[in-house]
Every structure is written in structure tokens, then in C-alpha cells.
């Protein structure tokens, strides 16, 4: 950040330059700063942390973390092909493995996310928030509270039921 701040005469100038280069699309800004294949990648920051940092300075966007990803998949808004699934092995130890499934498995399994899926998640959350007539960041926080352990820790099957009840 210091390097970009010095080169662009301030971090705000750097961010504004990237925004202008991307037609003011803040989702693209997140990908530029958080994707491993970007020349502007900020050290130590992936896509979820980058989006959270930008939200903290006023950007209205979703944070495509495991909670939002599994909720939007359980709602049927985004499809993922690989999921992390927790299980207990024969020695009683908790383990995690990848499973390939088209629908979210029950429990608290969460999907594997890559950059292009993060973009899809952020766009889906933005569209969902517009439908609810709230800012993306508010929709994101509500879903996060619904899904996180420090919130309601809602299971995937319960998230699916919620989505079905809202469609009626």
C-alpha cells in the first residue's frame, strides 16, 4: 500500500485511478487488489479481506466469504461445483475434504471459491440487495449474521427452506 500510495500521491488517488480504469466498478477494484494474478495485488489480502477493507472506507459491496457464498448457493443464486465438507474419521478426529456436488450439502459445508466466482457472488449479492431495497453491505451483514457461528449459525438446509418460503 505504501508503494502505491507513494507512486500515486496518496492511496485515494491510487484507488480512484483503478476505479476509473474499470468504469467505476468496485467489484473489479476488489479483484485487482485481492486476486493473486493481478499486478496490483495487495500483500496479505485476498478477495474477501480486500472487499471488507473497502467496505470499511465506505464502499457498498458484499464480502464473498464462506458464509455469504454458502448462503447464496443455498438460496439458489450462485452455483458451485466443489464444497468443503467436514466429517469425523474413524479415530474421532474432525477432518475436512472436498466433495463435488451441484447442490449445497446439508450442514455447514461451504463452497470452494475462485476469483471469477467471487465476482459472481458480489454481483448476485448486489442484485439481491436491490430486490430487498437495501444497500449491499446491509444485506451482506444480515446474511453473515444468519450464517456465522457468532450469529445464528444456520444450516444449509434451513437456508434453502428460507429461500423457498420467500418465493411463495
Report pLDDT digits (tens) over 6-25: 999 999 999 999 999 999 99
pLDDT tier, 138 (very low <50, low <70, confident <90, very high otherwise)? very high
d(CA 28, CA 2): 21
Would the pLDDT of 168 be above 60? no
Global pTM reads 0.90
In-domain check, residue 99: yes
What does the buried/exposed string (b/e) look like for 10-27 if buried means 16 or more CB atoms within 10 Å of the residue's CB? eeeebbeebbeeeeeebb
> Do residues 27 and 82 share a domain?
no
> Do residues 51 and 81 share a domain?
no
> Do residues 128 and 146 share a domain?
yes
What pLDDT was estimated at residue 86? 83
Helix runs in the chain, H state only: 2-7, 11-21, 26-34, 47-56, 66-74, 115-132, 136-147, 156-167
Would the pLDDT of 45 be above 90? yes
> Do residues 158 and 76 share a domain?
yes
Amino acid at each position: 500500500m505504501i508503494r502505491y500510495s507513494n507512486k500515486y500521491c496518496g492511496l485515494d488517488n491510487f484507488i480512484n485511478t483503478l476505479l476509473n480504469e474499470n468504469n467505476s466498478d468496485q467489484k473489479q477494484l476488489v479483484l485487482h487488489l485481492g486476486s493473486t494474478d493481478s499486478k496490483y495485488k495487495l500483500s496479505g489480502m485476498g478477495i474477501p479481506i480486500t472487499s471488507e477493507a473497502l467496505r470499511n472506507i465506505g464502499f457498498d459491496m458484499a464480502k464473498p466469504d464462506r458464509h455469504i457464498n454458502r448462503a447464496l448457493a443455498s438460496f439458489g443464486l450462485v452455483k458451485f461445483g466443489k464444497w468443503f465438507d467436514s466429517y469425523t474419521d474413524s479415530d474421532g478426529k474432525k477432518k475436512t475434504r472436498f466433495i463435488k456436488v451441484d447442490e449445497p450439502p446439508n450442514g455447514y459445508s461451504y463452497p470452494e471459491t475462485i476469483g471469477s466466482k467471487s465476482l459472481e457472488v458480489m454481483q448476485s449479492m448486489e442484485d439481491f440487495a436491490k430486490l430487498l431495497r437495501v444497500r449491499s453491505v446491509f444485506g451482506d451483514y444480515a446474511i453473515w449474521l444468519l450464517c456465522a457461528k457468532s450469529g445464528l449459525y444456520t444450516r444449509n438446509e434451513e437456508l434453502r427452506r428460507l429461500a423457498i418460503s420467500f418465493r411463495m
